[in-house]
Copies of this chain bind each other. A is one copy, B any other.
Amino acid sequence: MLHTPPASLLLLQLLNLTGIFVFAISGAMMGVRKGFDLFGVIVLAVVTAVSGGIMRDVLIGAIPPESIAHWHGVALAVIAGLLGFRSHRLIERLNHPVLFFDAAGLGVFAASGTQKALEFWLNPFMAAVLGMISGVGGGMVRDILAAQIPVVLRSEIYASAALIGALIVVVGAHFGLPPIETTLAGAGL
């Protein structure tokens, strides 16, 4: 039995990239809605996608942050932003596309952020707080840049989802469960 089995590490990275992708789509949809041009949409997509994780990494001392040390996250977010700009008519057929992709990313990041904070020796309560920050940070920055009051402050369900997702992982870790199913539960909101 290893402490961090490679399979679970790979899964965490996969979840992180999933979160980055859906957050980037959410940022791109906000940019399109605000009438930004291609470059503005991509910048907003990237910033939305990486801000939560960067806040988490700076606060736990994992410097340089994952999204700065490796190029995969930013590159994926650029691609997702481009996709969002191109396909925004298709994506807007969904109800509340910004919120939908935001909620998906939030669940994934809240869970993976909590997991990472636990690995960085934080106590379970603060690890859950860090998970929340990871989950809501990107959307907060997106809304601030779009000159809106962040949705997390206006919608009770939204932030509760992040907290619940984070708590599930903490409880799961306490009982030695792998973070896989809990994270999927979080992503499903």
A→B interface (CB under 8 Å): 31, 34, 36-40, 43-44, 54, 58-61, 63-65, 68-71, 74-75, 120, 122-123, 125-126, 129-130, 136, 140, 144-150, 152-156, 159-160
Q: A59-B68, A147-B147 are in contact. List 10 more A-B contacts (CB 8 A).
A: A43-B159, A54-B59, A59-B64, A68-B130, A71-B123, A71-B125, A74-B129, A140-B145, A146-B149, A147-B148
- The interface residues of chain B lying within 8 Å CB-to-CB of A129 are 68, 71, 74
Please state if A126 and B71 are interface contacts (CB–CB under 8 Å): yes
Closest-CB distance, A18 to chain B (whole angstroms): 21
Given contacts A130-B68, A145-B149, A149-B34, contact A156 B61 (CB under 8 A): no
Given contacts A74-B126, A144-B145, contact A153 B68 (CB under 8 A): no
- The interface residues of chain B lying within 8 Å CB-to-CB of A140 are 145
Residue of B nearest to A68 (CB): B59
Please state if A61 and B60 are interface contacts (CB–CB under 8 Å): no
Given contacts A60-B64, A61-B64, A126-B74, contact A153 B160 (CB under 8 A): no
Residue of B nearest to A42 (CB): B159
- The interface residues of chain B lying within 8 Å CB-to-CB of A154 are 36-37, 40
Given contacts A59-B54, A59-B65, A64-B59, contact A43 B152 (CB under 8 A): yes
Cα distance A125–B72 when bound, in Å? 10
- The interface residues of chain B lying within 8 Å CB-to-CB of A144 are 144-145
Closest-CB distance, A136 to chain B (whole angstroms): 8
Instruction: List 30 interface pairs A-B (beta carbons < 8 Å), by A numbering.
Output: A31-B153, A37-B154, A37-B155, A37-B156, A38-B156, A39-B159, A39-B160, A40-B152, A40-B154, A43-B136, A43-B152, A44-B153, A54-B59, A58-B58, A58-B59, A59-B64, A59-B65, A60-B63, A60-B64, A60-B68, A61-B64, A64-B122, A68-B126, A71-B129, A74-B125, A74-B129, A144-B145, A145-B149, A146-B149, A147-B148
